[in-house]
């Protein structure tokens, strides 16, 4: 030891160097950083039951390399163009003044873009107009007359969407509003007493894990003119996050708007929930915010609501408030083909009238 270095200085300098030596030892023992390779996604198309007629078409498109948003729109166009389906598109039940007003929205996961239309009149396929908003503008939503003018600019034809079947249902409703008005009462029909529901949500994932979603509707039958429900609201009627998954909703839109249920469902999946569990959790949240007038004495909902979800791996699930006496189903199409599947549910039986 040098005379210029005291014993105390030697001990102090040696102790200070120990952490560096230990750190170096640990660095030598540590392996190379792990490379995490996510499992491949399995292509799948899921939709509300009303979209069953279009899920195979959508799956074939995406399995052949087509875009996931184009696939979702192709799925929902099938019921939009079917005049016998009174809850979407052509033939949808009108508002209180006998006018069919349509809503739709869509989101494209790969580009993280969105488009929507509300209170659109005279255009059979609002889903396609929403896609045009997404692709060709820096807006997200167009409504009313402006949305129609925009559609015409892109080659859509304005037509009368009120079919004879839907007009007859509206006349029965109007004629039974007040026994003292100037209209003759018309015997109630099944459509009048229980207006059909059938908003269509479709969620698509391809083999690369890219995702899109689309929801379309004619809204609540006999609604106040100008009413917009949850379907054209990104985060409520549908929502896509290309890192996580997609979800959408049908049913009582006013409740769903208050919780942004589609976003909540996707966020649940972000936090690790399986798709069906994510949907059930969103239903419980919707029940929590429901007004007393919408609940029975034992706090069960007088309304029904459904959520549909798919994650980035192609796993899927759906849930509804009530299972129904005959069960509630939704549409699924993957490598096994198109089929109807049961939804998970919170309560047995049908929603109270």
For the annotated catalytic residues, the residue numbers are 199
- The Cα–Cα gap between 9 and 11 comes to 6
Q: Is 308 exposed, middle or buried (0-12, 13-18, 19+ CB in 10 A)?
A: buried
- The Cα–Cα gap between 14 and 11 comes to 5
Q: Are 229 and 238 in contact (CB under 8 A)?
A: no
Q: Could you give the 3-state DSSP secondary structure of residue 26?
A: helix
Q: Are 286 and 306 in contact (CB under 8 A)?
A: no
- The Cα–Cα gap between 258 and 264 comes to 11
Q: Are 93 and 126 in contact (CB under 8 A)?
A: no
Which residue has tokens 């160097």?
A: 17
Beta pairing partners, 214? 106, 202
Edge-first strand listing for the sheet containing 141-143 = 141-143, 113-120, 102-108, 211-217, 200-205, 44-48, 329-334, 337-342
* Per-residue CA distances from 349 to 149, 301, 320, 321, 346 (Å): 45, 12, 11, 10, 10
Q: Are 103 and 234 in contact (CB under 8 A)?
A: no
């Amino acid at each position: 030891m040098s005379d210029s270095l005291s014993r105390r200085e030697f001990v102090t300098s040696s102790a200070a160097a120990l952490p560096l030596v230990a750190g170096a030892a640990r660095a030598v023992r540590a392996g190379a950083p792990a490379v995490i390779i996510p499992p491949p996604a399995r292509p799948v198309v899921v939709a509300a039951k009303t979209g069953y007629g279009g899920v195979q078409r959508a799956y074939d498109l995406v399995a052949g390399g087509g875009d996931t948003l184009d696939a979702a729109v192709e799925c929902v166009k099938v019921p939009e163009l079917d005049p016998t389906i009174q809850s979407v598109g052509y033939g949808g039940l009108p508002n209180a003044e006998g006018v069919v007003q349509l809503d739709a929205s869509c989101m494209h996961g790969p580009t993280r873009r969105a488009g929507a239309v509300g209170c659109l009149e005279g255009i059979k396929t609002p889903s396609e107009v929403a896609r045009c908003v997404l692709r060709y503008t820096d807006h997200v939503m167009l409504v009313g007359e402006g949305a129609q003018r925009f559609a015409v600019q892109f080659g859509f034809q304005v037509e009368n969407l009120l079919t004879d079947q839907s007009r007859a249902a509206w006349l029965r409703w109007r004629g039974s509003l007040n026994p003292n008005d100037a209209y003759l009462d018309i015997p109630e029909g099944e459509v009048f007493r229980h207006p059909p529901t059938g908003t269509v949500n479709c969620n698509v994932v391809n083999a690369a894990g890219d995702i899109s979603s689309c929801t379309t509707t004619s809204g609540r039958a006999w609604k106040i003119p100008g009413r917009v429900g949850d379907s054209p609201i990104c985060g409520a009627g549908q929502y896509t996050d290309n890192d996580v998954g997609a979800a959408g909703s049908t049913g009582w839109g006013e409740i769903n708007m208050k919780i942004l249920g589609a976003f909540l469902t996707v966020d649940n999946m972000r936090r690790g929930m399986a798709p069906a569990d994510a949907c059930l959790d969103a239903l419980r949240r919707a029940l929590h915010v429901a007004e007393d007038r919408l609940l029975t004495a034992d706090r069960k909902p007088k309304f029904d609501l459904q959520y549909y979800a798919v994650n980035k791996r192609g796993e899927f699930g759906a849930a509804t408030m009530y299972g129904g006496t005959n069960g509630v189903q939704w549409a699924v199409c993957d490598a096994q083909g198109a089929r109807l599947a049961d939804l998970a549910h919170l309560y047995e039986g049908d929603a109270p009238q």
